[in-house]
């Protein structure tokens, strides 16, 4: 078995494939670019289409005769500005806020209070001061945001909502304007603007300015800073981003914009009332950015338009329907339905289209464009869909040579031609076949990223939310387990994971209690569990790495699976502990008849235990054999040299 021929490990073709696919990918990007840049038509269409559409919309709505349509248009435009502010804060800087309504209220009240004052009331002054005041309030909520994140920040802004509205209603009762403070009509150079076309035109102007401003800010350095903070605050600060400064500036900037929209809202409706700035009002802005597509300016606008217009559309539709059956039902309930419409919308979107409208449309448009104007190269098409295309029919790795004789035993696990593809399109396992016999220990060796853990996970089951695609066959005792959820697969195979193998907040005794089938035996009297007996009432989070491993094995023992999968038991353990755990595994096999598939980077530990070894590389089995034969193999040298004890 020492002849070089028997160690015919086919690594080269495998590398060839990975280089090939990367090359293809690069080629695709390049081609795409050259299509966009080189082909004038596409380039201009992509760049100009949104502007042309926007201009058409402006002309369509501003030109509309119906005063009601104009009124709604103006409202939608103001809401769009506010939603842009929110998407800046939430979508780009990742700071969750329910305080949008409160900041609009700050702008609206500032305007209502300043507008009648001589010397302060001339048009741009209240608007500008509202913006400044909004910025100050933004700074004030920004300061706690330096300490709070996620839900805590959201609740902080919820508190702001109630406090601002309360202050507003106190002010109203103080001045006696219980039903709201009237605001004088907007007047520029002696010309008064009320609801009509002129005002809507001005609003579109403001919206255009906000889009340009926010787009520029987000496209340049500040946008990148916020992006890095959203992705990981820790990493951002590690590369020198001043997190404090950029978080505060996101609050200040977006709040100023939102307050300006509140000021315009006050001018537009000519009345400011605390009733108008309810929590539902604030939530509707979050709904806008979610259904439009969080983080996108176009999404904020689309969302604002949908949320503003849909209730009116529903009302109109209801009036068209005959007043019987569903029409009748709608007639009586359309008012309540309209009040709750945005709640229904946001639930539907979160469940079925979590990206929102704009990214969804973008994908659709890209798809249509590809269909009607196929890109010039065939390779591009294939690479565009890297997960869908099956690998070339001719196998790149020939059946790996078997090193040593394996006696025939009844097999427990059989994996045939397994492929595992992650959501990102990465194929972690590519045509793996293997077999685990009754009462044996089989080891799966390989470097980081070789596909070992993915193989184990494919056997123990993925969660639906992980969106992993599986192909091939996996049977345990002849029963198909491929694609089963973890809870079903665990009837046959139990996984002791590399990291999360215990529940940190449960005590040792509680672990054993929930991992014990009704009527099943308790592990507590087993010899190998002795070390943990004294720690029964301690939280498992306080256990050492080795103790966690033993606890996980104890749970598995109680569950009595047909097959026990153990992922990297040696990771992070001291050599003496590795030997102890290996001892327990051997004991479980020999005295308790359990069957194991173990995954290791630490070749020495695994070779010592296993009856049969598979070597994985790049998602394929490149060698298999008896541990004594595989151990001679130079392939394993780098592994044992880097991570061996």
Partner 1 sequence: MSKELASIIIGMLDLGSLYALVGIGFVILYRSTRVINFAQGAFMLLGGDVFYTLLVDWHLAWYLALPISMVVLGIIGALTYLVFFRRLVGADLFVLVIATLGLNIVIVTIATIIWGPDIRSLPEVLSLKPLFSIGNLSVAPLDVFSIGLAAIVIVLLERLLQRTRLGIEMRAVADGPLLAGQIRISVHAISAIAWGIAALCAGAAGAMYSLRVALDPAGIPALGLLAFPALFLGGVDSIRGALVGGFVLALVQNATTFYVGGLWSDVVPYAVLLVVLLVRPRGIFGSREIVRL
Binding-site ranges for partner 1 (CB under 8 A) = 96, 144, 147-152, 154-156, 158-160, 162-163, 166, 170, 279-280, 283, 286-287, 290, 333, 336-337, 339-340, 342-347, 350-351, 354, 460-461, 463-466, 485-487, 490-491, 494-495, 497, 500-506, 510, 513-515, 517, 555, 559
How large is the greatest C-alpha to C-alpha distance in the chain, in angstroms?
A: 101
Give the nearer residue to partner 1 in terms of CB position, either 397 or 515. Answer: 515
Give the nearer residue to partner 1 in terms of CB position, either 149 or 580. Answer: 149
Beta strands per DSSP E along 104-195: 181-182, 186-188, 191-193
Taking the complex as a whole, the smallest distance from the CB of residue 282 to partner 1 amounts, in Å, to: 10
Provide the residue count of the chain.
645
Residue 399 token pair? 């059946």
Taking the complex as a whole, the smallest distance from the CB of residue 300 to partner 1 amounts, in Å, to: 15
Q: Which of 571, 643, 611, 618 is nearest to 452 (CA)?
A: 618
Taking the complex as a whole, the smallest distance from the CB of residue 465 to partner 1 amounts, in Å, to: 4
Q: What is the CA radius of gyration of the chain?
A: 32
Taking the complex as a whole, the smallest distance from the CB of residue 338 to partner 1 amounts, in Å, to: 9
Taking the complex as a whole, the smallest distance from the CB of residue 318 to partner 1 amounts, in Å, to: 14
Give the nearer residue to partner 1 in terms of CB position, either 400 or 461. Answer: 461
Q: Give me the half-sphere count of Cα atoms (radius 13 Å) on the Cβ side of residue 254.
A: 36
Taking the complex as a whole, the smallest distance from the CB of residue 341 to partner 1 amounts, in Å, to: 8
Taking the complex as a whole, the smallest distance from the CB of residue 499 to partner 1 amounts, in Å, to: 10
Taking the complex as a whole, the smallest distance from the CB of residue 291 to partner 1 amounts, in Å, to: 10
Q: Are 517 and 560 in contact (CB under 8 A)?
A: yes
Query: Sign of torsion, CA 541 543 546 551?
Result: negative
SS3 content of the chain, % helix, strand, coil (to 5): 60, 10, 25
Give the nearer residue to partner 1 in terms of CB position, either 59 or 344. Answer: 344
Give the nearer residue to partner 1 in terms of CB position, either 311 or 618. Answer: 311
Taking the complex as a whole, the smallest distance from the CB of residue 548 to partner 1 amounts, in Å, to: 12
Taking the complex as a whole, the smallest distance from the CB of residue 457 to partner 1 amounts, in Å, to: 10
Q: Which of 600, 611, 594, 607 is nearest to 570 (CA)?
A: 600
Residue 27 token pair? 């080629």
Instruction: Provide the angle, in degrees to the nearest 10, between the axes of the packed helices 243-269 and 124-145.
Output: 140
Taking the complex as a whole, the smallest distance from the CB of residue 506 to partner 1 amounts, in Å, to: 6
Taking the complex as a whole, the smallest distance from the CB of residue 521 to partner 1 amounts, in Å, to: 15
Give the nearer residue to partner 1 in terms of CB position, either 29 or 235. Answer: 235
Give the nearer residue to partner 1 in terms of CB position, either 277 or 342. Answer: 342
Taking the complex as a whole, the smallest distance from the CB of residue 319 to partner 1 amounts, in Å, to: 19
In this structure, the number of other CB atoms found within 10 A of the CB of residue 74 comes to 26
Give the nearer residue to partner 1 in terms of CB position, either 160 or 577. Answer: 160
Q: Which of 223, 202, 232, 230 is nearest to 81 (CA)?
A: 202
Please state, in angstroms and as integers, the Cα–Cα distance from residue 620 to each residue in 236, 395, 396, 524, following that order.
37, 11, 10, 40
| Helix ranges restricted to H, 63-99 | 67-86
Give the nearer residue to partner 1 in terms of CB position, either 44 or 166. Answer: 166
Taking the complex as a whole, the smallest distance from the CB of residue 518 to partner 1 amounts, in Å, to: 10
Give the nearer residue to partner 1 in terms of CB position, either 284 or 640. Answer: 284
Which backbone phi and psi does 472 adopt, to 5 degrees? Answer: 110, -160
Residue corresponding to tokens 């509140």: 262
Give the nearer residue to partner 1 in terms of CB position, either 496 or 626. Answer: 496
Give the nearer residue to partner 1 in terms of CB position, either 69 or 136. Answer: 136
Query: Sign of torsion, CA 422 425 428 433?
Result: positive
Give the nearer residue to partner 1 in terms of CB position, either 565 or 582. Answer: 565
Which backbone phi and psi does 374 adopt, to 5 degrees? Answer: -60, 140
Instruction: Provide the angle, in degrees to the nearest 10, between the axes of the packed helices 279-292 and 357-372.
Output: 20
Report which DSSP code applies to 414: E
- Taking the C-alpha atoms of residue 92 and residue 95, their distance in angstroms, rounded to an integer, is 8
Q: Which of 293, 391, 245, 273 is nearest to 83 (CA)?
A: 293
- Taking the C-alpha atoms of residue 545 and residue 580, their distance in angstroms, rounded to an integer, is 12
In this structure, the number of other CB atoms found within 10 A of the CB of residue 469 comes to 15
Residue 177 token pair? 């304007």
Report which DSSP code applies to 117: S
Query: What is the Cα 581 distance to its own chain's centre?
Result: 37
Give the nearer residue to partner 1 in terms of CB position, either 214 or 290. Answer: 290
- Taking the C-alpha atoms of residue 575 and residue 584, their distance in angstroms, rounded to an integer, is 14
């Amino acid at each position: 078995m020492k002849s070089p021929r028997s160690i015919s490990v086919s690594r080269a073709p495998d590398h060839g494939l990975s280089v090939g696919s990367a090359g293809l990918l690069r080629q695709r990007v390049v081609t795409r670019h050259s299509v966009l840049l080189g082909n004038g038509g596409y380039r201009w269409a992509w760049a100009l289409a949104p502007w042309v559409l926007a201009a058409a919309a402006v002309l369509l709505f501003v030109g509309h005769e119906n005063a009601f349509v104009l009124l709604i248009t103006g409202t939608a435009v103001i809401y769009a500005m506010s939603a842009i502010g929110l998407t800046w804060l939430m979508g780009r800087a990742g700071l969750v806020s329910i305080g949008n309504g409160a900041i609009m209220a700050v702008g609206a009240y500032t305007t209502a209070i300043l507008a009648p004052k001589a010397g302060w009331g001339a048009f741009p002054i209240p608007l500008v001061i509202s913006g400044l005041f909004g910025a100050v309030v933004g700074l004030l909520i920004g300061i706690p945001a330096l300490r709070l994140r996620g839900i805590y920040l959201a609740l902080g802004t919820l508190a702001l909502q109630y406090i601002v509205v309360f202050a507003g209603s106190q002010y109203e009762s103080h001045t006696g304007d219980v039903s709201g403070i009237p605001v004088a009509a907007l007047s520029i150079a002696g010309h008064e603007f009320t609801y009509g076309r002129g005002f809507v035109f001005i609003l579109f102007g403001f919206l255009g300015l906000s889009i340009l401003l926010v787009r520029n800010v987000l496209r340049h350095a500040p946008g990148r800073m916020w992006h890095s903070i959203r992705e990981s605050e820790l990493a951002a600060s590690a590369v020198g981003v001043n997190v404090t400064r950029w978080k505060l500036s996101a609050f200040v900037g977006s709040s100023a914009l939102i307050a300006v929209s509140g000021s315009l809202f006050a001018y537009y409706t000519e009345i400011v009332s605390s009733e108008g700035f309810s929590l539902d009002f604030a939530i509707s802005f979050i709904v806008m950015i979610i259904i439009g597509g969080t983080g996108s300016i176009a999404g904020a606008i689309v969302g604002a338009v949908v949320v503003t217009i849909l209730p009116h559309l529903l009302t109109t539709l209801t009036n068209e329907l005959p007043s019987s059956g569903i029409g009748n039902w709608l007639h009586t309930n359309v008012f309540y339905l309209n009040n709750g419409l945005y709640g229904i919308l946001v639930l539907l979107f979160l469940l079925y289209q979590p990206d929102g409208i704009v990214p969804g449309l973008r994908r659709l448009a890209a798809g249509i464009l590809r269909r009607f104007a196929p890109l010039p190269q065939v390779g591009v098409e294939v690479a565009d869909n890297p997960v869908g295309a099956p690998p070339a029919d001719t196998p790149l790795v020939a059946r790996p040579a078997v090193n040593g004789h394996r006696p025939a035993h009844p097999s427990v696990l059989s994996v045939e031609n397994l492929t595992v593809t992650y959501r990102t399109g990465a194929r972690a396992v590519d045509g793996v076949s293997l077999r685990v016999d009754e009462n044996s220990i089989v080891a799966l060796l390989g470097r980081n990223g070789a596909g070992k853990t993915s193989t184990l996970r494919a056997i123990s089951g993925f969660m639906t939310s992980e969106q992993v695609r599986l192909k091939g066959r996996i049977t345990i005792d002849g029963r198909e387990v491929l694609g089963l959820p973890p809870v079903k697969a665990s009837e046959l195979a139990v996984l002791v994971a590399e990291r999360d193998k215990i529940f940190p907040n449960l005590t040792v005794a509680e672990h054993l209690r929930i991992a014990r089938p009704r009527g099943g035996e308790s592990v507590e009297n087993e010899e190998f569990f002795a070390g943990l007996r004294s720690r029964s009432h301690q939280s498992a989070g306080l256990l050492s790495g080795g103790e966690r491993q033993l606890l996980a094995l104890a749970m598995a023992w109680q569950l009595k699976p047909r097959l026990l999968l153990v992922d990297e038991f040696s990771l992070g353990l001291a050599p003496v502990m590795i030997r102890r755990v290996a001892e327990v595994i051997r004991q479980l096999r020999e005295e308790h008849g359990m069957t194991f598939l173990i995954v290791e980077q630490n070749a020495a530990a695994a070779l010592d235990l296993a009856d049969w070894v598979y070597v994985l590389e790049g998602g394929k089995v490149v060698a298999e054999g008896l541990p004594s034969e595989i151990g001679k193999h130079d392939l394993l040298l780098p592994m044992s040299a880097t991570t061996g004890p």
